Structure 1
Amino acid sequence: MRRRPAALVTAALLTAGLAGCSGGAAPAGRAVPGLSPQPSTPAPRVPAGHAPTESFAVGVRRLDLNRDGDRPLPVTIWYPARGAAGGTPQRSAPAATGRFPVVMFSHGLGGRPEDYQLLLSRWAAAGFVVAAPRFPHTGAGGDGNPLDVLNQPADVSYALTRVLALDTKAGDPLRGRLDAERVAAAGHSAGGVTTIGLFTAGRDERLDAGIVFAGTALGVGTGFAGAAAPQLFVHGEADEVVSYASGRAVYDAVPWPKAMLSLPKGDHGRALLGDGRALRVVADTTVEFLRWTLYGDAAAKRRLPTDAARGNLATLDDHL
């Protein structure tokens, strides 16, 4: 392992708390002790603006990366495309006109980026470029080593650098389409740990916001650092893999503007994977959060509570 030796102490907890991130039940995670709310800090740094009002068609492509020569990281990219909105993402479709914020997404243990296409393509249709690496050990087909989650924040930062470089790469279909000044990170379960790590031990100062689905801070800590970056946590209160209390404890430790979308009947993540009422609430709420944090759209922030309450499927603890 390339991480500090103290991380090895978390091995058993990571194995218990993250097993089954993409599927069946596993032992519940444990609450992180000793956390308390932190004082508020200045508002996010993205200037006021307006998100696109139209919905885009969605294109999809793949970028093959390899960090340090021994960490293959194929990245699936969903992006706003030309053409009529709606329908399934079209491979290598021409990109829509405009400059779009970038969202890095991290999958759960044993997962693949395409498992989350229903959610991620909705983000792309709303005007975001979404890049999702498949991790070498925790992705489907890997050896399933949960400790490798501790290496994944660096993977995401590397992939972000390479994705943003497409904006100036001659001949690339995304040339001139990426806004490197407006970037967020998001992830589910083991990918939620990865995302938390990008704001704590592996802080990437390019990130303006984060979304954590069913995440815990085991191995990456709660030492949130750097400029204020609003955070949205999404967690099922009936989560059978990472306990709701564990996710709530990390949320309580966030010192920046934050909100937590809680689904009283939600489990570890089926709301992210299946097209149902819960996914619509999660998708609408996360889209408005991204519109506010990456486009500076104040109207989107005002819509957040209404979207979160639709259908009485979730509650929103709003400190944004």
Structure 2
Amino acid sequence: MNESDMAMPSMEISVPTPVVSVKPVVLSAPGRGEDLKVQVSAPVIGRELPIIVFSHGFGSSLNGYGPLVDFWTAHGFVVMQPTHLDSRTLNPPPDDPRTPLIWRFRVEDMKRILDNLDLLETSVPGLSGRLDRDRIAVAGHSWGAQTASMLLGARVLDTEGGTGENMADSRIKAGLLLAAPGQGGADLTPFASEHFPFMNPSFAGMTTPTLVIAGDRDQSALSVRGPDWFTDPYFMSPGGKSLLTLFGAEHSLGGIPGYNVTETTDEDPERLSAVQQLTWAYLRTALYPEDTAWFTACRALMESPHPLGRIESR
């Protein structure tokens, strides 16, 4: 038995299938300044396929996060990835008038995808009629996790501390928040407070079932707190959530941003494999309550002689 087997023993994963990706699918986006480009990835077989809409981290694009997207699609999900306005592929100047509201444009990008499922479905040869529109999850990493949290019910507090606009979307049935920023206010560095006023969330209304994933060595330059800052979406939201804390993980959680990318500071194939499997298992059970994949995965992690992390739920 190798170390990877020891870390995640006895977990049953569906057999991987070939996948197909189409990019860019262009969605008209009046008022955005640029049309929205989306990548759609899907398994070549299967019907009533569940959907994941994924929001990338700062500077990335629809081309990122192959390690997650490839795994999810090979195991039965259709994944839709927008390129947000902060992407390095667009490179907006700092004085771009849209910059202060990019966080809102990000949320609108995700909603625009949900509003255009017909077009996105027909963009992939052979995908028509194979989507299950009642089983949609949202996921995101870093700033993308903040974006995803808004669709799950989190809100941005205004300058007076009042609860901001509710941008939750009832079409979303489950969420994955990977390295999601925590609360703002005094927990932010002076630089973050000045330049990122939208980083002031309330998780009180985040009622949608969600798995929060945090690394216990993820030290953000935006917060004066330690790695526990990334667990706030779990502890400060209503129940019905799970928290996966990965031992030794930094912001890249073992390498989720891409294959051999410079953003990965903690490359670890075993940790990455655990994130792939556990996120898949969580969404299987969250979207299909009769599926026991998540409970099997939790038991496998707990029973491992060399666990890669710990899971708690409430």
Write out aligned runs for 1:143-222 (5 A): 143=92, 147=100, 148-167=102-121, 173-199=126-152, 200=154, 201-217=166-182, 219=198, 221-222=201-202
**Identity over aligned pairs, percent:** 25
Aligned partners of 1:115 and 1:305: how far apart in 2? 28
Check if 1:75 corresponds to 2:75: no
Aligned partners of 2:249 and 2:43: how far apart in 1? 30
In structure 2, the residue matched to 1:108 is: 57
Q: Secondary structure at the match of 1:247?
A: helix
Residues 12-34 of structure 1, C-alpha deviation per residue, up to 9 Å, x if partnerless? xxxxxxxxxxxxxxxxxxxxxxx
Q: Secondary structure at the match of 2:65?
A: helix
Check if 1:277 corresponds to 2:270: yes
Q: How many residues are aligned here?
A: 253
The normalised TM-score by structure 2 is 0.72
Give the deviation of 1:254 after TM superposition. Answer: 2.0
Does the aligned pair in 2 maintain the 1:229–1:256 contact within 8 Å? Answer: no
Greater RCO between the two (CA within 8 Å, min separation 6)?
1
Does the aligned pair in 2 maintain the 1:214–1:236 contact within 8 Å? Answer: yes
Q: Secondary structure at the match of 2:132?
A: strand
Pick aligned residue for 1:133 from 82, 90, 95? 82
Aligned partners of 2:71 and 2:36: how far apart in 1? 23
Aligned partners of 1:153 and 1:308: how far apart in 2? 33
Residues 84-135 of structure 1, C-alpha deviation per residue, up to 9 Å, x if partnerless? xxxxxxxxxxxx2312011000000011232211111101111100101011
Give the deviation of 1:297 after TM superposition. Answer: 3.7
Residues 165-199 of structure 1, C-alpha deviation per residue, up to 9 Å, x if partnerless? 545x5996321011111100000001011011112
Give the deviation of 1:276 after TM superposition. Answer: 0.6
Pick aligned residue for 1:61 from 22, 40, 57? 22
Distance 1:170 1:232, change over 3 A: closer
In structure 1, the residue matched to 2:264 is: none
Write out aligned runs for 1:11-26 (5 A): none
Which consecutive residues of structure 1, in runs of 5 or more, have no partner in the other structure? 1-50, 82-95
Give the deviation of 1:144 after TM superposition. Answer: 7.2
Check if 1:300 corresponds to 2:293: yes
Q: Secondary structure at the match of 1:176?
A: coil
Distance 1:52 1:118, change over 3 A: closer
Aligned partners of 1:107 and 1:171: how far apart in 2? 21
Check if 1:268 corresponds to 2:251: yes
Which consecutive residues of structure 2, in runs of 5 or more, have no partner in the other structure? 1-11, 155-165, 185-197, 260-267
Aligned partners of 2:277 and 2:70: how far apart in 1? 12
Aligned partners of 1:288 and 1:170: how far apart in 2? 28
Check if 1:315 corresponds to 2:310: yes
The normalised TM-score by structure 1 is 0.71
Aligned partners of 2:276 and 2:60: how far apart in 1? 19
Distance 1:230 1:142, change over 3 A: same
Give the deviation of 1:262 after TM superposition. Answer: 0.7
